[in-house]
Structure 1
Amino acid sequence: MDRTKNYNIQYCCTDTLVYDTLEGTMTFEGDSIIGSLPIFSFRSFTESKDSLVRYYSGDVTYRTKFEISKKYFSNQNIFQMQIPAFGSTARIELNGNLVATVWDPTEKIDITKYINEGSNNLVVQVTNPWRNRLIGDKIQNRGNKATWTTSPMIDKYDPVPIISKHAELLPSGISQPIYIYVVKPLK
Structure 2
Amino acid sequence: MWSVDLPGLATTAHGDAPHPWTDDGASARGFSGIGVYRARLTTPDAAPAGRIELDLGAVHGVARVRVNGRECGITWTSPYRVDVSDAWLEGANEVEIDVAVPWRNRLIAEAARPTGEIFAPMTQVFSADAEVRPAGLAGPVTLVDIA
Q: How high is the TM-score relative to the length of structure 2? A: 0.83
Q: 2 CA distance for matches of 1:101 and 1:149?
A: 33
Contact 1:56 1:133 in 2 (8 A): yes
- Structure 2 unaligned segments of length 5 or more: list them: none
Instruction: Provide the C-alpha distance between the structure 2 equivalents of 1:147 and 1:43, rounded to a whole number of angstroms.
Output: 28
Distance 1:78 1:149, change over 3 A: farther
Alignment correspondent of 1:94: 67
Which residue of 1 is the match for residue 19 of structure 2? 43
Following TM superposition, by how much is the alpha carbon of 1:150 offset from its aligned partner in structure 2, in angstroms? 4.0
**Higher Cα Rg: structure 1 or 2?**
1
Percent sequence identity over aligned pairs: 21
Aligned to 1:148: 119
> For residue 27 of structure 1, what is the aligned residue in structure 2?
5
Task: Give 1:172-187 correspondences, 5 Å limit.
Answer: 172-184=135-147
Q: CA RMSD in A?
A: 2.2
Q: Which amino acid aligns with 2:52?
A: F
- Call closer, same or farther: CA 1:35–1:92 in 2, change over 3 Å: same
2:21 alignment partner AA? F
Q: Which stretches in structure 1 are left out of the alignment for 5+ residues?
A: 1-22, 154-162
Between Structure 1 and Structure 2, how many residues are aligned? 145
Distance 1:71 1:53, change over 3 A: same
CA distance in 1, matches of 2:10, 2:101: 16
Partner Cα distance (1:107, 1:62) in 2: 15
